[in-house]
């Protein structure tokens, strides 16, 4: 099915108003009843435990650059392409954090601590939880990824902090997506592709889009 920007932006605008109405206190109660305490096992950052893709938004990239004196090229790469245009350019939405050849995040240390812990992205600071509009529901639900720390005692203060982060993350994700789509001038609709990332992107020109605009990368 072809992707249509106007439909997608209208859908996102409905979602952002629903996300805005989320009650932090109600979410915190749910989090306490689920329970969570980080065990510092580092599994969420490693490839052996499944998908450890970390999407990076422009503000997150800037924070890591400023705090750690890094260039984007040292820790960012294009996400998986979404579509190919008429002249064969692959288009990606957002950047992802680089991983070692093992697949592990480049920022995890041998002792399972994170080199950028204070500036870690939304996805890391809210793991193993995320909010999702499941099965077309109008209100986002709290979802839980696999994690050894789930089910452990969580106090109310920690739950409130996490609930605020989860709501902030969802609002940031939707806002970023709307801005990205608003910037996609000239590509009003397209046929999504399934790109075999195992073969790499050698020989392709890649356009990476985010809320700040677009950058071309040529091999
Ligand atoms: S940035 Fe830190 S917390 Fe996030 S995946 Fe990498 S090591 Fe883990």
| 18-22, 82-86, 196-200: which is most confident | 18-22
How far apart CA 103 and CA 147 sit, in angstroms, is 18
Confidence of residue 6 (pLDDT cuts 50, 70, 90): confident
DSSP state of 185: T
Torsions phi, psi for 76 (to 5 deg): -120, 145
- Determine the pLDDT at residue 40: 95
Edge-to-edge strand list for the sheet holding 90-93: 81-84, 90-93, 205-210, 213-218
- Determine the pLDDT at residue 134: 85
Q: What is the CA(125)–ligand 1 centre distance, in A?
A: 9
Give yes or no for residue 157 having a pLDDT over 70.
yes
Confidence of residue 197 (pLDDT cuts 50, 70, 90): low
Give yes or no for residue 104 having a pLDDT over 70.
yes
Structural Rg of the chain based on CA atoms: 18
For residue 193, give the nearest of 2, 53, 5 by alpha carbon. Answer: 2
Give, using CA atoms, the residue closest to atom 4 of ligand 1: 124
Give yes or no for residue 198 having a pLDDT over 70.
no
Q: How many CB atoms lie within 10 A of CB 134?
A: 10
How far apart CA 7 and CA 9 sit, in angstroms, is 6
Dihedral, 203, 205, 208, 209 alpha carbons, nearest 10: -150
For the segment 48-65, the average pLDDT, to the nearest whole number, is 95
Residue 99 to residues 37, 77, 105, 161, Cα–Cα distance (Å): 25, 9, 4, 28
The SS3 call for residue 210 is strand
User: What is the position in ligand 1's atom list of the atom closest to the CA of 125?
Assistant: 3
Give yes or no for residue 191 having a pLDDT over 90.
no
Q: Which residues of 82-114 are buried (b: 16+ CB within 10 A; e: fewer)?
A: bbbeeeeebbbbbbbbebeeeebbebbeeeeeb
- Determine the pLDDT at residue 196: 67
Structure tokens at 165: 């982060």
For the segment 207-211, the average pLDDT, to the nearest whole number, is 96
Helix axes 156-182, 5-20, angle to 10 degrees: 160
Give yes or no for residue 59 having a pLDDT over 70.
yes
Length of the chain: 219
User: What is the position in ligand 1's atom list of the atom closest to the CA of 105?
Assistant: 6
Q: What is the CA(104)–ligand 1 centre distance, in A?
A: 9
Give, using CA atoms, the residue closest to atom 3 of ligand 1: 124
Chain mean pLDDT for the chain: 93
Torsions phi, psi for 14 (to 5 deg): -65, -45
Q: What residue ranges line ligand 1, CB within 6 angstroms?
A: 45, 54, 105, 107-108, 114, 116, 120, 124
Give yes or no for residue 199 having a pLDDT over 70.
no
Q: What is the CA(160)–ligand 1 centre distance, in A?
A: 22
Q: Which of 95, 108, 115, 117 to mutate to test the pocket of ligand 1 (most atoms within 8 A of CB)?
A: 108
Q: What is the CA(121)–ligand 1 centre distance, in A?
A: 8
Q: What are the residue boundaries of the structural domains of the chain, listed by start?
A: 5-218
For the segment 34-45, the average pLDDT, to the nearest whole number, is 96
């Amino acid at each position: 099915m072809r992707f249509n920007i106007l439909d997608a932006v209208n859908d996102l605008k409905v979602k952002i108003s629903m996300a805005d109405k989320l009650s932090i206190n109600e979410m915190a109660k749910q989090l306490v009843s689920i329970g969570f305490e980080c065990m510092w096992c580092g599994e969420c950052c490693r490839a052996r435990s499944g998908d450890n893709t970390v999407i990076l938004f422009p503000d997150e990239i800037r924070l890591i650059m400023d705090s750690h004196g890094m260039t984007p090229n040292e820790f960012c790469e294009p996400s998986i392409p979404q579509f190919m245009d008429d002249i064969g350019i692959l288009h990606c939405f957002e950047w992802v954090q680089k991983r070692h050849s093992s697949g592990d995040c480049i920022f995890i240390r041998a002792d399972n601590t994170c080199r950028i812990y204070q500036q870690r992205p939304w996805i890391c600071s809210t793991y193993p939880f995320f909010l999702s509009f499941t099965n077309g529901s109008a209100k986002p639900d709290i979802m839980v990824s696999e994690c050894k720390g789930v089910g452990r005692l969580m106090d109310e203060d920690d739950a409130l902090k996490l609930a605020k982060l989860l709501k902030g993350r969802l609002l940031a994700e939707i806002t970023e997506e709307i801005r990205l789509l608003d910037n996609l001038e000239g590509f009003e609709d397209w046929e999504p592709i399934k790109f075999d990332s195992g073969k790499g992107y050698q020989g392709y020109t890649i356009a990476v889009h985010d809320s700040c605009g677009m950058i071309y990368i040529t091999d």
